[in-house]
Every structure is written in structure tokens, then in C-alpha cells.
Chains A and B, each alone.
Chain A
Amino acid sequence: MTNSIAEIEEADVIVITGTNTTENHPIIAQRIKRAVERGDARLVVADPRRIDLVEQANYWLRQKPGTDVAWLNGIMHWIIKNNLHDKEYIDERCEGFEELAREVERYTPELVESITGIPAPDLIAVAELIGKSDKTTFLYAMGITQHVTGTDAVKSVANLAMLTGNVGRRGTGVNPLRGQNNVQGACDMGALPSSLPGYASVADDSARRKIAAVWGVDSLPSKPGLTVTEMMPAILDGEIRALYVMGENPALSDANITHIEEALDKVDFLVVQDIFLTETAERADVVLPGASWAEKDGTFTNTERRAQRVRAAVQPLGSCYPDWRIIQRLFQLMGFSADYASPEQIFNEIRRVVPSYAGISYSRLEKGGIQWPCPDIDHPGTEFLHAEGFKRGKGLMTAIPYKPAAELTDDKYPMILTTGRIQYHYHTGTMTRRCPSLETLAPEAVLEINPSDAERLGVSDGDMVKVSSRRGKISLRARVSGTVEKGVVFTTFHFSEAPVNRLTNDALDPVAKIPELKVCAVRVEKG
């Protein structure tokens, strides 16, 4: 997030798109609700599903899945056409406005309606609202990114935020709500194939040299590595021969898991480090038992860039070890010295390598979390980014044409399947499905289907249905519900009994390499 969670309540307009906040970030959803109920903020929800926050929304734009760039361009079209953009901000802080303005010129409300299904008057009303308000905050999540055009859609949100002067001030911002407890931290730490810790490119010679000096090595590899979504095909191509998986369950979480299973079965050597024998661990040659979160010390960095302490409450179970100890031992067995006595010592090394963490220390974290960038020990941390200007100099606006989803419906697969989470379970359910309370609340997968589709297919609420795509087939119970529009069905990826990723499409966004988990063509049948 460019801004902080608490600032959401300071916005005049809250735009949420591709985030079912109530289910995925319940504590943030409470803040949104409160701000709207107090009358301090107007809420715009852009989502194909009738999510819970639609009830509070002043406007609900129900776009067809995969058409985000089109409606965002449409909003910008109206704002520019009616001179509602922030010209001073754009002149001073941005570049690329002319190209953007030329591109969005053709996205008239009528054209946008024909692509997205959003009625033109609604689009215009929202454009006017954003254009005329002082502070708008944009919140989004995987509903924006998990598409072949995910990068385009994120850039479009950024375009709209810059166009209206909504970056670099309190109560505004481009705010991705990160789904996992430490996905922000894992990225900050350089668990990415093209970035070193602190986001310097692996191709950056001086950044590599600096880190190599701290690690006491002569050189580090400069060729970008493969993303998770590229590793699996690389295994099938024989390029990757050994895979080390720590705390992940790609055999359930990745798109098109039939393909993933093939890869995990094919790889010469698979080592999985986890707390349960997951669907992925079942295929391993060696399984290493890690300690759970309650059994180890360290830090997580949340969605607003806030580093916070994690503290061991109990001893590791059986002969489990915290993951850092296991990696350290492997380091040593591979002939390297890696002598850390505690996570704090590792953290102190991180502070030397990642400049934005330099001022964060375990002793400071005793008093509460600190938001990066925090360059020195006296720095209070940073509530919102880009206050003084953008890191690259001028904020880059990019002209982005709308492109349709990779997989379109046809006679054989006439419906669109979109996927997500519910608040009672988490991802592949390895933890939550072993908590009796949560399992009681949501014991099985359900497929949300619109009443008119259900009637056409002869399906009643609670019936078992078969859902198939070009990649696979699953069975689950139907829930007839107006939450989804006609022609669209929804389910979650928590349940191994009905693994929806058998169906999803592993087509990738060309830049971010994120799979199109939010749109695939399916057929639903009773039985």
C-alpha cells in the first residue's frame, strides 16, 4: 500500500475493486464500513460479484470479469473530457499524460457499457464523484491482478490515481491489500527471481556487489531466475531438476494443478519443508518438518509496510525446527558458514542489506510495528509513500488499451468461473481446516450460481454439480445465490475435495507472470 490502513477512514471517496474485503481483510472492511456509516466517505465498489460491501456502497459497478482496463479507461475518459483531472499535479509530478489522454479518448461510456456491462450513467456518476472529490483512496486485491491483463489493470488504477492527484497525500493512494501475512516481507527480502533484497534488480552490478560483500562472496548470479509459474513448465522441459519448497502448497494453490502435479512428479528431486503433509509434500523425496508460527521468533511485514514482531509462545512440536534453523543447517552442509544465533542476528544483517529496513530494530519493535522506509534509527517510519515525489522522478502514466481475457466462453464451456476466498478459511486450508471451530463454520466447498442459471440447469440449492473446464473436472455443492451474475459462477480454493485449480487457466500475464485465476470458461451440470 502506498498509504496506511488507518488513513482509509480519512478519504472522501473509497474505491474498492477486485477485493472482497469483508471476506479477505475483515478488519479493513470494518474501517470502510465505519467511515461510510459515519457519513465521512462515499463508497464505490467495482466487482462482478454482489459482495458484502455492495450493501454499503453509494455506487456499484458490476463489470464482467476481466474487463477492468475498459471501465478504468472509461472513468478517465469522462474525467479528462470534463476537465476534472488535476492539471497542476499532472504538470508538476507526472509524465505520459498526452498519450494516456489519446488512448482513453475512444472509451466513451457507451463503448465501455458494451464491453463491461456497466450502465453508462453509473460510470459517469462515479467519474464525476472521483473527479470532484479531494481525496480518493483506491483499494484492490487479486481481483485486479489475477488476469492475463493484471499488470495493465494495476497500471490503470495508478493512471487514475495520478490523473486525479491521489498519490502522495494522506487519505489517498494506490493500495493493494496483500493476501498473505508476510507476502510484503517475502518480496522485500528478495524472495523474487529478478529482485535482490530491497528490490534492486539482479542485473544491477553495483547492488549485487554490495550484497556479495555482506555475504562474503566474490559474485552473485546476474541472470534473472524463473517465477513460480515458469518453474513448473521448466521442470517438464527438463531444465529444472531439483526443487526446494518451503511453506507452500502449489499442488493445490496454483492454476491448472493437473499440470503442476505432473511437474512435481517429474522433477528428479523434490524437498518440501512444511508443518503438515500437504498435497505438495506427499510428492516429495524428502519432507522436513518446520515449526509453526506459534513456535518461532521473527518479523512479518504487513500490507501497509509495517514490520512487526512474531514471538514464540510454545516450544516447537516433536523434533521440528524453525525454518531458519533448517536453512542454516543446509547452508552449512553445502559448505558455507552461516552462523546466526537468533532471528535477531539475521534481522540485523537484513538492516545492512535492505536500506528501507536499516532503522528498524528488534528493540524498537518492542514498542510496536514500524513502517518502511525507515532509513535510520531515529526515523519514525513512513505512513505514506511518494510525499516528496516519485522514486523514478516523474510518475509515469501509461496508455493502456483494453484486451479481453485469455479464455472466452463458447458453446461447450458457456459460463465464466471466478475464484477467491471466504473469511473462515485461508488459502489451501492446511491450517484453518484443522481448526474445528472454523471447519464447523465452512466444512465444504460450494459453487455460487445465479438463480436463473440454476433454473436453466435444473439445479436446486444444495444439489451436487459437476463443473468442468478445458483442463479438468470437479464436483461440489451448489448454492443458488444472487451474489453472482447470470453466466458467472464462483467458488473458493480452500478445499482439496473440490480443488478448483483443476479447472483454472494457467495463462499468464506477460509481465507479472501471474496466472488468470479469476476467469476461465466452464460448463456446469447437475449430478
Chain B
Amino acid sequence: MTTIIETKKKVKLEIDGKTLFAPEGSTILEAARAAGVRIPTLCYHEALSPIGSCRVCVVEVEGVDRPATACNTQALDDMRVVTRSERLFNLRREVIRMILAHHPLNCSSCPKNGDCELQDIAYEYDLAPNDFGSYSIKTEEYPWKEFSTPILDYHPRRCVLCGRCVKVCKEIRGLGAITMAGPGALASIQPALADPESPSRCVSCGECMRVCPVNAIEERMGGGKGKPWETEKTSTTCAYCGVGCSLELNVVNGKVVGVTTDDAAGVNKGRLCSKGRFGYAFIHSGERLNKPLMRNEKGELEETTWTKALTKVAREFRRTLAEHGPDSIAGLSSARCTNEENYLFQRFIRQAIGSNNVDHCARL
């Protein structure tokens, strides 16, 4: 027996004086991350191919004059890379300063406060509002424009033009419903319309919102989302179709205010459709039933107590059983309820009623 060994070639390189091996074809960023070396990033997202737009991940490569962006430079044999130096610190600080110069600094009133990748990196590079008085690009107000879907709002002033949203729409959704348009720092994200007459290709999945490092794309009908430190996240499984995507319900003050995902979790690996991401408002709908109802003498449904309602149900079941036998009662369980509830429901019909008249909506 010959053992088959993974024969993918490795390259040997040095990062910050540490020798390491990385699979051929890796970028410097991937090689560094695999070895536990942190290179700061902003436009880079693990689920996407490198964008290389923000230049925060610059590193020095021996023998190359200009600093290289680690996210899209291939790691090569015998390469020597430096990720931390005064020159790099200043370069990165300058890049972040340029971005912050046209990003509103009203962090305290932004729902992303505390969970913002730009804020984190500005903090890391010791930037404060009085550090960019000398820049004044992108100062004008943008007129409000419809985004690719009526359920999301795009805020051009907050946008750092990293391009993640455009990339995710193309690479993950295969749609290309949005694009970056306009000159330089005044560019913005816009619906991509091949033909102004044709409807948007956007399917309102909200992937663009998920990958946005700041808060440039947000739910229009959300509101009052709460700050990250007061938000509790509960991991659960989506209640709609049979794919069973993993998601996190975001709860503030006992109310579900949004849905987020964990990029590593479940069959969906962070992705969701419109129902999974935006289909939560029903939970707190004013139309929810919150008390048992019973039909009164006038034939109307009227609120009652649990004891009265359940006693009535048990009495009617018992009477029907006595008069017509177990097969005169039937139960419809639910493909929407949990396994535990379905199990208990069929056990109730089979044991307490004594009939196999139990089914659910599998056929519909």
C-alpha cells in the first residue's frame, strides 16, 4: 500500500524574521495569518477574493522599493517580509487618515459604534478627530438616492469605498447588482443597471450590508438597533425553508432588532437570503395572538383564560371519543414546529386519543 500524501508545493519565506512555509499560491496575508502574524486590513474579507483598494495592509518586501499590499501579493520562495516598521506605521496611518477625513465622526450616535472596523483601526493607529483638519475632500452633501433595493439605505458619506459590497454581490450571489461609480474619492456605490428600463438584479439578500465594515448600508425599516454592547446574540436556525441556515438573533431590551451571522457557522457560512435576514419583524407584530380565544354564545371568538380554553379542549376531545371513538379525532402537526413538538403532538394523538390520524403539511 502506498500512502497518498498531500503534495501541494510549499514556499519558504521569512516574515518579521520568522521562517515559515505556506502553500504555493498563498498571498503574503494568508501566509502571515496562518502563522499567527497580524497584518491590519480594512477592505480584505476572508470570504472574498482580495480587493486591494484600501492599502491598509501594506508591508515591506526586501528588494522591492514600494511597499506591497499583503492581501494581493503572492508569497514567493525566499521572500523576506516586514510587517511592522515606523515607515509602515506612518503609511498606514496616512491611509486611514485619508479615509477618515471624509467619514462622519459622529461615532457616538452611530449604531455601529463599538463594532466598526474603521473605528477599531483608527484607534489602533492613534487617530483622533483633530488629526485631519487639513483635508477637505468630499465635504458636500450627497442627494438621497434610491439604492438597489427599497429595503436598504446607502449612506455615501459613511462609505469608505472598500468595494466589499460590490465584490460580495458578484462573487457570492453571482448577481452584480451594484457597482462603484464616480470619480476618485467622490465615487459611490450605485445600482448596476445594464439598461435603465430593466429591473434591478438585486434580490435584497443584504449580503452587501453584512460585509460593510462601517455602517454605509443599513436596513431602512430597522431602526433603534441598539449598541453592540447592549445587544445579546442568540445562535439559532432559520425558521423558513429547509436549508436550515445558521443565524444570530440580535436582541436589545427583550426585542429582536436584527439578524447577523457567523461566517464560519452552519450550512450557509454567514450567507442568508432576504427572508432569513429581514424576516424577523413578525415576532413582535401587534397582530400576534397573546391570549387564548374561545367562541362565545354569539359565535364570536373572545379572549379567555388558559384554564378555560384547555379544559374546553380536553372536554370536547373526551366527549367525541366517548361518542364516536378515537378515529373521529384527527390532528395536524406542523413542519414549522420543532422536532420535540412534533414528537409530542403525534404521541398525544396516538396515545391520548388512540388514533393514527396525525399528519402535517409535508404534501403542501
Residue interface mask B333-364, A partner, CB < 8 A = 1: 11111111111111111111011111111111
In the bound complex, residues from chain A placing their C-beta under 8 Å from that of B344 are 324, 327-328, 331, 338, 340, 346
Is B245 part of the binding interface, using a Cβ–Cβ cutoff of 8 Å?
yes
Query: In the complex the two chains form, is B290's CB within 8 Å of A319's CB?
Result: yes
Does A527 have its Cβ within 8 Å of any Cβ on chain B? no
Q: What size tier do the contact residues of chain A reach?
A: 35 or more
Interface residues in A140-163 by Cβ distance below 8 A to B read 145-146
Known: A227-B359, A300-B237. A432 touches B282 (CB 8 A): yes
Contact of A274 among B244, B289, B349 (CB under 8 A): B289
**Which secondary structure characterizes the binding site on chain B?**
mixed
B240 within 8 A of A: yes
**If A294-B283, A310-B237, A330-B310 touch, does A191 touch B359 (CB 8 Å cutoff)?**
yes
Cβ of A182 under 8 Å from chain B: yes
One digit per residue, 1 when the CB lies within 8 angstroms of any chain B CB and 0 when it does not, for chain A 408-439 equals 00000000000000011110001110111110
Q: How many Å lie between the Cα of A182 and that of B358 in the bound state? A: 16
Q: Is the CB of B340 within 8 A of A26?
A: no
Contact (Cβ within 8 A) A25 B174: no
The CA of A26 and the CA of B274, in the complex, are separated in Å by 9
**Across the interface, do B246 and A308 meet the contact criterion of CB distance under 8 Å?**
yes
Which residues of chain B from 85 to 109 have any CB-CB distance to chain A below 8 Å in the complex? none
Closest to B254 in A: A314
Does B127 touch A at the CB level, under 8 Å? no
In the assembled complex, A221 has its CB within 8 A of some CB on chain B: yes
Complex Cα distance, B268 from A6, in Å, reads 10
Question: B151 contacts which chain A residues (CB < 8 A)?
Answer: 437-438, 440-441
Contact check, A432 vs B354: say whether CB atoms are below 8 A apart. Answer: no
Residues of B within 8 A of A96 (CB): none
Residues on B with C-beta less than 8 A from A217 are 351
Instruction: Judge if A284 is at the interface, Cβ distance under 8 Å.
Output: yes
Using a CB-CB cutoff of 8 Å, which residues 263-313 of chain A contact chain B?
268-269, 271, 274-277, 281-282, 284-290, 292-304, 306-313
On whether A247 and B337 interact (CB within 8 A), knowing A240-B330, A284-B301, the answer reads yes
B330–A250 touching, CB < 8 Å? no
Cβ contact within 8 Å between B290 and A318: yes
- Contacts A180-B336, A239-B328, A336-B352; A26 near B301 (Cβ below 8 A): no
- B357 cross-chain contacts in A, Cβ below 8 A: 193, 225-226, 231, 240
A245 to B236, CA, bound (A): 25
Contact B279 A431 (CB under 8 A): yes
Q: Are B238 and A181 in contact (CB under 8 A)?
A: yes
Residue on B with the closest CB to A56?
B174
* Residues of A close to B290: CB separation below 8 A: 289, 317-320
Asked if A165 is at the interface (CB within 8 A of a chain B CB), the reply is no
A341–B265 CA distance with the chains assembled, in angstroms? 29
Q: Contact check, A193 vs B274: say whether CB atoms are below 8 A apart.
A: no
B251 adjacent to chain A (CB < 8 Å): yes
B205 and A181: CB pair below 8 A? no
A-B contact count, CB below 8 Å?
A: 453
Interface residues in B225-245 by Cβ distance below 8 A to A read 232, 234-245
Q: Is the CB of A320 within 8 A of B289?
A: yes
Cβ-defined contact, A304 with B238, below 8 A? no
Chain A residues with CB below 8 A from B279, complex form: 426, 431-432, 435, 437-438
Residues of chain B lying within 8 A (CB to CB) of residue A382: none
Q: How far is the CA of A306 from the CA of B237 in the complex (A)?
A: 11
- Whether A193 contacts B356 by the Cβ 8 Å rule is yes
**Are B358 and A33 within 8 A (Cβ)?**
no
Contact A437:B288 (CB < 8 A) given known A26-B205, A193-B357, A221-B350: no
Is B292 among interface residues, defined by CB-CB distance under 8 A? yes
Tell whether B84 is near chain A: CB-to-CB under 8 Å: no
* A438 with B278: CB separation less than 8 A: yes
The verdict on A246 contacting B278 (CB below 8 Å), with A423-B273, A441-B204 known, is: no
Known A-B contacts A183-B362, A194-B356, A231-B330; A368 and B338 likewise in contact (beta carbons under 8 Å):
no
Chain B residue at smallest Cβ distance from A239: B328
Minimum CB–CB distance from B307 to chain A (whole Å) comes to 10
In Å, the complex CA distance between A430 and B349 comes to 26
> Which residues of A216-257 have CB atoms within 8 Å of chain B's CB atoms?
217, 220-221, 223-229, 231, 234, 239-248, 250, 253-254
Tell me whether B255 and A314 are in contact (CB under 8 A): yes
Tell me which residues across on chain B come within 8 A of A396, comparing CB atoms.
Answer: none
- Interface residue? A12 (CB, 8 A): no
Given A5-B243, A333-B310, A369-B244, residue A242 in contact with residue B237 (CB < 8 A): no
Q: Which residues of A contact B255 (CB under 8 A)?
A: 314
A276 touches B287 (CB 8 A): yes
The reply to whether A246 and B340 form a contact with Cβ atoms under 8 Å apart is: no
* B275 on interface, CB distance cutoff 8 Å: yes
- A302 touching B267 in the complex, CB below 8 Å, given contacts A5-B243, A229-B363, A289-B291: yes
Which of A26, A191, A221, A328 has the most chain B CB within a 10 Å cutoff? A191
List the 3 closest A-B pairs by CB distance, nearest first. Answer: A318-B290, A302-B244, A298-B338
* Residues in chain B within 8 A of chain A (CB atoms): 149-151, 172-174, 203-205, 219-221, 232, 234-246, 249, 251, 254-256, 265-268, 271-275, 278-285, 287-295, 301, 306, 309-314, 316-318, 320, 323-324, 326-352, 354-364
| 27 cross-chain CB contacts under 8 A | A26-B205, A30-B172, A30-B173, A178-B242, A181-B242, A182-B342, A185-B339, A223-B327, A223-B356, A244-B313, A248-B360, A277-B289, A285-B294, A288-B292, A298-B338, A300-B239, A304-B244, A304-B267, A306-B244, A311-B236, A314-B255, A321-B306, A369-B267, A423-B273, A431-B239, A431-B279, A440-B221
